[in-house]
Amino acid sequence: MIRVERRIEVNNSWVIIMYLSACIVGFLLTSLLLWLSGADISKAFYALYKGSMSNQKTILNSLSKATPLILTGLATVVAFRAQVWSIGQEGQVYSGAMSAYMASLMFYGLPVWIYLSLIITFGALGGALLGALSAVLKNRFNVNEIISTVMLNYIIIFFLSYMVGGGPWTGVGDQALIYSQSNPVDDTAKLPFLFDSKKLHFGFVLAIVSVLVCHVLINHTPFGYEIRAMGHNSVALKYRGTNTKKTLLYLMILSGAIAGLAGVSEIFGTNHSLRGDTLVGLGFTGIIVGMIGGLTPIGTLVAGVVFGGLASGSVYMKIIAKVPGTLVPTMEGIFLLTFLIAGVASHYKIVGFKRDV
Q: Can you give the binding site for another protein, defined by CB under 8 A?
A: 5-9, 216, 220-222, 224-226, 228-229, 232-233, 235-243, 357
Q: How far is the CB of 340 from another protein (least distance, A)?
A: 18
Under 8 Å between Cβ of 86 and 255: yes
Minimum CB distance to another protein smaller for 7 or for 57: 7
Q: How far is the CB of 278 from another protein (least distance, A)?
A: 37
Q: How far is the CB of 271 from another protein (least distance, A)?
A: 37
Q: In sequence order, which residues have a C-beta less than 8 Å from that of residue 229 and are 6 or more positions away?
A: 236, 237, 242
Question: What does the CA dihedral 135, 140, 141, 143 come to, rounded to 10 degrees?
Answer: 10
CA 210 to chain centre: 12
Q: How far is the CB of 212 from another protein (least distance, A)?
A: 14
Instruction: Return the closest-CA partner of residue 230 out of 209, 255, 212.
Output: 255
Minimum CB distance to another protein smaller for 228 or for 322: 228
Minimum CB distance to another protein smaller for 198 or for 246: 246
Q: How far is the CB of 219 from another protein (least distance, A)?
A: 8
Q: How far is the CB of 297 from another protein (least distance, A)?
A: 16
Under 8 Å between Cβ of 96 and 262: yes
Q: How far is the CB of 208 from another protein (least distance, A)?
A: 20
Q: How far is the CB of 281 from another protein (least distance, A)?
A: 32
Q: Give the chain's radius of gyration (CA, Å).
A: 22
Question: What does the CA dihedral 85, 87, 89, 92 come to, rounded to 10 degrees?
Answer: -110
Question: What does the CA dihedral 175, 176, 180, 185 come to, rounded to 10 degrees?
Answer: 140
Minimum CB distance to another protein smaller for 57 or for 232: 232
Instruction: Return the closest-CA partner of residue 80 out of 227, 219, 224.
Output: 227
Minimum CB distance to another protein smaller for 8 or for 36: 8
CA angle 247, 248, 253 (to 5 degrees): 100
Q: In sequence order, which residues have a C-beta less than 8 Å from that of residue 128 and are 6 or more positions away?
A: 253, 254, 256, 257, 260
Under 8 Å between Cβ of 82 and 224: no
Minimum CB distance to another protein smaller for 141 or for 195: 141
Minimum CB distance to another protein smaller for 173 or for 355: 355
Q: How far is the CB of 142 from another protein (least distance, A)?
A: 14
Minimum CB distance to another protein smaller for 49 or for 225: 225
Exposed (0-12), middle (13-18) or buried (19+): which is 23, by Cβ within 10 Å? middle
Question: What does the CA dihedral 113, 119, 120, 123 come to, rounded to 10 degrees?
Answer: 180
Q: In sequence order, which residues have a C-beta less than 8 Å from that of residue 28 and are 6 or more positions away?
A: none
Minimum CB distance to another protein smaller for 140 or for 240: 240
